Amino acid sequence: MSESSEAENEQWRKTGILRPEDVDLPDEGKLEDNAIAVIECPQKIPCNPCEENCPVGAIKLEDLNAIPKVDTEKCTGCSICVQQCPGLAIFMVEYTGDDKCEITIPYEFELPEEGEEIEALNRKGEKVCIGNVTDTLPREKSVGDTPTLTIEVPREFANIVRSIRRKNR
Ligand code: SF4
Ligand code: SF4
């Protein structure tokens, strides 16, 4: 979440949906080095599996009800926090070549095939662009309870795409 989080929390409370401007992506250089966790958890609730399960201590909450923050210097891109978050509130973002990015998404529906072309959706569930599935992690392989998938989309949508819809379904 961005620093002026109180005002943004108010906006989120009205709609239930975060806007791109409510979320600070890590620096471009970091995103080019490796995938970094992007936490979109604006509600102050007593919850911290993300903090407890990060193997390098990259996630901190000031107290159990606080909004979690990621230390992007420490994050290794392992995605354990995505797999452990019961709120499906964590994503991984990595900048890849050719102005593309990979976004790892918690996904509890039937997983698509790797290589499958999908419709990439924004936080409102609206189609943004076409993407490709580059990886999937089924529930039985997840270290938490959350399956994930990773898609590749144009980099300009790194802070916009947050879900998918399978084509022709
Ligand atoms: S991706 Fe891994 S290293 Fe990074 S914050 Fe999540 S659990 Fe920690
Ligand atoms: S585990 Fe998920 S829902 Fe719980 S505090 Fe962390 S990001 Fe928020």
Residue 136 CB coordination number (10 Å): 18
Indicate whether 169 pLDDT > 80. Answer: no
C-alpha of residue 169 to centroid of ligand 1, in Å: 33
| Closest among 148, 157, 159 to 105, alpha carbons compared | 148
**Ordered alpha helix ranges (H), 58-139:** 80-84
Tens of pLDDT, residue by residue over 89-112, are: 999 999 998 899 999 999 999 999
Tell me which residue range forms the domain holding 131. 5-166
Cβ atoms of 35 and 56 closer than 8 Å:
no
Q: How far apart are CA 13 and CA 63, in angstroms?
A: 21
- Tens-digit pLDDT profile for residues 119-157: 999 999 999 999 999 999 999 999 999 999 999 999 999
pLDDT band at 2 (very low <50, low <70, confident <90, very high): low
- The closest-lying atom of ligand 2 relative to the alpha carbon of residue 84 is 1
**What pLDDT is recorded for position 60?**
97
Name the domain count of the chain. Answer: 1
Q: What number of H helices and E strands is found in the chain? A: 4, 9
Residue 164 CB–ligand 2 contact under 6 Å = no
Per-residue confidence at 15, pLDDT binned at 50, 70, 90? confident
DSSP letter (8 states) at residue 25:
P
Residues having CB closer than 6 A to ligand 1 are 37, 54, 56, 58-59, 70, 75-81
By the 8 A CB rule, do 107 and 83 touch?
no
